[in-house]
Amino acid sequence: MKSLINKKVLLIICGGIAAYKSLELIRLLKKNGATIKTILTKSGSKFVTPLSITSLSQSKVYQDLFSLEDEAEMDHISLSRWSDLILIAPATANTISKLANGISDDLASTVALASNKKIFIAPAMNVRMWEHKSTKDNIKKLKSYNYELIGPEIGDMACGEYGEGKMSEPVSILKEIGNYFDILNSNNKYKAVVTAGPTHEYIDPVRYITNKSSGKQGYEIAKSLSNKGFETTLISGPTNLEIDDTVNLIRVETAEEMFKATQNNLPADVAIFSAAVGDYKAKHLSKFKVKKQDNFNLELEKNIDILNYVSNHNSLRPKLVIGFAAETNNLENYSIKKLNDKNCDWIIANDVSNKKIGFNSEFNEVSIYYKKGNKEKLSYKHKSEISDEIVEKIINHLN
């Protein structure tokens, strides 16, 4: 598998009878050209030994969070930064619970929490443990944190029971990881520009006009694009959000600043305009704070329409231009009108009158309207999951 050649995989082995499969997984990864480093949890060492792991990986096994020897050579931050990908196999119910709730009480969980890399988990547990609501809730959380799930499979278990919860076979795990790197390799030729958040349109040095946009959906889209291998630039209005350094973040305040930053980052293959750009600005910006008056008339003028400009620009227009429509009523009519008026390829629309989705919420539900006249709905889920679905559709379109 060419996509694994020279890739650095950090394998975390947790305590479970399926840990023996991790030895075969190490052998397959090495055979396909990957470099392996391994973290063995305390319970994992009850099933496989550091010596057997080292013999196959030809690398040191890391176990103790507070080992002076390990910390001097490579601490938990360095381990997480070293890897191209982190794989937890087997991932026990206990480990999944810790990761979902931000508990970092050993080297494995600390590395996962400190990581800025893609993390895959291959669960392995009894069928009743897998089907328990707490496990399902924890898996849902991890997916929203951008963890990738491999398996589990249905089959006979070591405990004698039958059902879902069996760790995926090493060959299947290898294929999933190989596919991930294949996607990265095929997408790194693409450049994406994303706008996110509100803009601040100043009236005087202390007052401005703005809106309720949090920027969360745009940030998640930028993150998902970067995770899929795109060279990604995020142009953000004022927010309190942070993003990984794999994304080129440009912070702006006003619509004019966002417009100039967008111009400076074209051409691109795809442009996604999720920012809630102020439609109007003060016609006359006061140099000094305007004092309180009984009557105050504010004269406004239109801002540049960034989406319209880019979508209709002959030489700079990206292959795919996607606009957003945040509406409180007549969602479909307004979205289709915007799609046609702005000449963009897709409009992604959501109903911001619904307080469970849209502005400031962690969740969303959107409809995508396509230039060809068809539409589809992405049902209610975490914004990170919505973003992953959108990006998958972008990849399919570009390829």
Strand locations in the chain (E): 8-13, 35-40, 61-62, 85-91, 118-123, 148-149, 153-156, 162-166, 191-196, 201-202, 208-209, 231-236, 248-251, 270-273, 280-282, 300-302, 320-327, 346-351, 363-370, 375-382
Tokens 């055979």: give the residue: 31
* Whole-number Å distance between alpha carbons of 27 and 9: 13
β-bridge mates for residue 193, sequence order:
233, 271
Q: Which residues pair with 364 in a beta bridge?
A: 381
If we measure between CA atoms, which residue out of 366, 323, 362, 381 comes closest to residue 214? 362
Identity of the residue numbered 396: N
Cα(302)–Cα(278) distance, integer angstroms: 9
- Cβ atoms 201, 210 nearer than 8 A: yes
SS3 374: coil
Catalytically annotated residues: 159
3-class state of residue 153 by DSSP: strand
Measure the CA dihedral 172/174/180/184, to 10°.
-150
Amino acid at 78: S
What does the H/E/C string look like for 237-296?
CCCCCCCCCCCEEEECCCHHHHHHHHHHCCCCCEEEECCECCCEEECCCCCCCCCCCCCC
Q: Which two tokens stand for residue 54?
A: 């080292």
